[in-house]
Structure 1
Amino acid sequence: MTNTYKRVLLKLSGEALMGDLAYGIDPTIVQSIAEEVSSVVQHGIQIAIVVGGGNIFRGIRGSAAGMDRATADYVGMLATAMNAITLQDAIERNGTPTRVQTAITMQEVAEPYIRRRAIRHLEKNRVVIFGAGSGNPFFTTDTTAALRAAEIGADVVFKGTKVDGVYDSDPKVNPDAKRFNSLTYGHVLAHDLKVMDGTAIALCKDNNIPIMVFDLSVPGNIRRAVMGESIGTIVGESCEVS
């Protein structure tokens, strides 16, 4: 297969790390992701990862339960750091060097986020995992993914989910839901399609970074997506709605 991309950003939700568990991290899922990420690096593609924390704690749920929203979001950021370090361990056990960079300083376990250092790590074929979101409350890890992708000059954002693309309605509720092969940023925003949050979509639009939404649960899909196979829904400025 021919490499389509030089540098990519992979967005993983915390829920994706749970597998079929009700809470926490499924080691089998993490190992599978680690193997695929290592395979991508072996093909000469630079890969950065932004990971969420919803498998451990979601700030918006904490806020709904009565916590101060900013405090709840900070707790959620710490959860993402736990996931980032877990991913780092699994990827390095596959023989691929990694660095975890966090937006909240925790120097005993991770580097602080420094853009130029992150790019240098990528140039040395190290996987860079970004934890602690953007370091600011009220912003999602989707927005962080779009922000980091723009900062490091990523060619594309890959969003691994539990569905095989973007639908016009929830396919779990509506058996007649239509899956899109491609979409424009404008269509996503105008129809409030659940690709990423609006801020993330706007950031990708402003910086002309395409988004590929694909099913993370299918073995081999990370490698297929990064190597340029059409396996989900692509969102971009020049894409047609289909």
Structure 2
Amino acid sequence: MTASLRDPLDAHLAELDRSLRGPARARRDIVREARDGLDDAADAYRRGGVDPHTAARLAVRDFGPVAEIAPLYQDELAAGQGRRTALLLAIALPALMVGWDFVWQSGLAPGPPAPAAVKVLARVQDVAATTIAAVSGLLVALTFRRTRSPRRVAAAAMVTSMVAVVVCGGSAIAMNLVNASEAWLRFTTQPVGLSAYVVSLGVMVLLNVSALRTLRTLRAARKDDRHRVE
């Protein structure tokens, strides 16, 4: 395909790419799909006898302004980012629970019996993690279904992730503060205990980052809505 044909198409696709917010792979897939459609439309005009540059401009016209098209794609991106967040929750929290149970039961991080307050907080954390994982599994399933509002599912995944960080992360911090001396000993002298802390922190960071990315995707969708109204 000649440069004279591709230039208007490339400019339009570049504008579309800049307008979208969401997972990089999903954005690339959307732009690739749009490129295929534009190329087919331009080729059809060329076969009808239209010169390449005019064919490209007509294909772009038929495709529609980015301001009108981007919000439709943004809903798809919001659903994709929400799916990622929910899937991370559904996998990471149960895995973290199993990992810590293994650390305690294996004797790799020995220590005296935990205070009563720590046991209560641990119970709260277990119940919260189990509930959040179940909700996340449901949200993952919903992201694969056509719904009237994929943004609501994405927003639910974002809120669930934030709740997980606050409740599970907060209870973990509280447990270590209540039993600070043992926590410090485990952190400084037990490689397995240190590894468990590092992994737990990493999971909380990933959940927070995924929630923030979902929030940015939803904000982009709302921004597109405002532009369409204006």
TM-score relative to the length of structure 1: 0.25
Q: Whose Rg is larger?
A: 2
RCO greater where, 1 or 2, for CA within 8 Å and sep 6 or more? 2
TM-score relative to the length of structure 2: 0.26
Higher helix share: 2
Higher strand share: 1
